[in-house]
Amino acid sequence: MSCDFLALAQPGVQKLSPYVPGKPVDELARELDLDPANIVKLASNENPLGPSPKVLEAIRAELAELTRYPDGNGFELKTRLAARCGVSTAQVTLGNGSNDILDLVARAYLAPGLNAVFSQYAFAVYPISTQAVGAQGKVVPAKDWGHDLEAMLAAIDANTRVVFIANPNNPTGTWFGPDALARFLERVPENVLVVLDEAYIEYAEGDELPDGLQYLDAHPNLLVSRTFSKAYGLASLRVGYAISTQQVADVLNRVRQPFNVNSLALAAACAALDDSGYLAEGRRINDLGMVQLEEGFRRLGLTWIPSKGNFIAVDIGRDAAAIYQALLAEGVIVRPVGGYGMPNHLRISIGLPEENARCLEALAKVLARG
Ligand SMILES: Cc1ncc(COP(=O)(O)O)c(C=O)c1O
């Protein structure tokens, strides 16, 4: 009889459920025999603008070097990020997406017997990375769908090494302000690494959200993680980064795969940083789309969770699984969030105006069926 390799897996891994991504357009097209060109995907908080021409040009210029390994230290990108963030290059860690950063933190700082604190409805990768290394995830009940920072402080114990907080949070879009972050950081024990996940911060800059980088000097136990996947439009290339103390960056660098960010991603990210017009247009489209969806929901008599991200969670008022399926049949892919414990909500990424309109139309149609 062959061995049970599930039973042989590390106990935390045995109990893991794999991350469920948004349904790809081609998969739905195959399943329902639809024309991919007529499918609207608003399921993975991607940038609806398509890639920046400057990014495409930078990638083309890099193609001739594909036979070579990338710069394992990401010198050029780290230099630009350090200048942009007002830190030294030694404080920058590059990741294969910011998910990689979250995983590096877990591998470096968590182990069986230790725990990470995060909120109910927090990003799905926090429990996955935590459990994968055999550590315990301490889930703190949310308050009004958002992080209850006071309760999270109270949940920290002698075995806590990491706190994951996202601002804004995915999938809820909720956020906290500078005062709440300052009060939190002042009281977190100094041996607990606070991972402030700012994957969506570019959509909220100038709003009531704090800029995590401004708290680094006063709080050596803070790590700010950011990504090129959202506002910079590079989700497929997988590039993210962390800013922390030099010491924490040095630790993460020890567990990092040698060439975790590929050369096309490095070149694209450098070009994306220079393309401020793309960022501004993305922000403009997002702000408009948010209002468009909110107005649409209002007309449909639906409520939603106010969001500062490039997505919004709408309350269908009953189990949303059937509505999700019915939307698929209409060629509209959104994200069910039952797996997050939000069975009545659908998370809808903000698209182009015509994509948002298609989504609202389809939603009206399937809701009208009762
Ligand atoms: C809150 C949050 N953090 C991190 C990520 C990871 O993104 P990436 O690995 O593409 O940088 C996401 C992606 O959806 C997210 O929503």
Choosing from 105, 125, 201, 225 the residue with most ligand 1 atoms within 8 A of its CB, the one to mutate for a pocket test is 125
Full-prediction pTM beyond 0.85? yes
Q: Ligand 1: residues within 6 Å at CB? A: 45, 97-99, 123, 166, 170, 197, 199, 227, 229, 235, 240
Torsion of CA 118, 96, 44, 201, to 10 degrees: 60
- Which whole number is the average pLDDT over 261-290? 97
Res 307: pLDDT: 97
Please give the share of the chain, as a percent, with pLDDT higher than 90.
94
Ligand 1 midpoint to CA 45 (Å): 9
Res 111: pLDDT: 97
Please give the share of the chain, as a percent, with pLDDT higher than 70.
100
Cα 363 from Cα 292, distance rounded (Å): 14
Residue 203's contacts (CB-CB under 8 Å, 6 or more residues apart) are: 168, 230, 231, 282, 283, 286, 308, 309, 310
Each residue's pLDDT tens digit, 299-308: 999 999 999 9
Cα 46 from Cα 259, distance rounded (Å): 25
Each residue's pLDDT tens digit, 337-348: 999 999 999 999
Res 19: pLDDT: 84
Each residue's pLDDT tens digit, 36-71: 999 999 999 999 999 999 999 999 999 999 999 999
- Which whole number is the average pLDDT over 283-288? 97
pLDDT at 285 over 80: yes
Choosing from 102, 230, 340 the residue with most ligand 1 atoms within 8 A of its CB, the one to mutate for a pocket test is 230
Ligand 1 midpoint to CA 7 (Å): 30
Task: Tell me the CA distances in angstroms from 362 to 21, 36, 42, 166, 298, one per residue in order.
Answer: 22, 17, 13, 31, 15
Residue 86's contacts (CB-CB under 8 Å, 6 or more residues apart) are: 213
DSSP string, 135-177: PEEEEEPPBTTB--HHHHHHH--TTEEEEEEESS-TTT-----
Contact 286, 350 (CB under 8 A): yes
Ligand 1 midpoint to CA 101 (Å): 10
pLDDT at 2 over 90: no
Each residue's pLDDT tens digit, 119-174: 999 999 999 999 999 999 999 999 999 999 999 999 999 999 999 999 999 999 99
Each residue's pLDDT tens digit, 226-240: 999 999 999 999 999
Contact 34, 222 (CB under 8 A): no
Res 217: pLDDT: 96
Q: What is the position in ligand 1's atom list of the atom closest to the CA of 123?
A: 1
Bridge partners of residue 140, in order along the sequence: 119
Question: Whole-number mean pLDDT of the chain?
Answer: 96
Sheet holding 193-197, edge to edge: 92-95, 240-243, 222-227, 193-197, 160-166, 115-119, 136-140
Res 334: pLDDT: 97
Res 188: pLDDT: 98
Where does the pLDDT of residue 369 fall: very low under 50, low under 70, confident under 90, or very high at 90 and above?
confident
Q: Would strands 160-166 and 193-197 be described as parallel, antiparallel, or unpaired?
A: parallel
Choosing from 94, 98, 147, 203 the residue with most ligand 1 atoms within 8 A of its CB, the one to mutate for a pocket test is 98
- Classify residue 41 by its DSSP letter: E
Bridge partners of residue 346, in order along the sequence: 314, 336
Res 73: pLDDT: 95
pLDDT at 370 over 90: no
Q: Would strands 115-119 and 136-140 be described as parallel, antiparallel, or unpaired?
A: parallel
What number of other Cβ atoms are within 10 A of residue 142's Cβ?
18
pLDDT at 11 over 80: yes
Res 302: pLDDT: 97
Cα 23 from Cα 268, distance rounded (Å): 25
Each residue's pLDDT tens digit, 164-219: 999 999 999 999 999 999 999 999 999 999 999 999 999 997 778 999 999 999 99
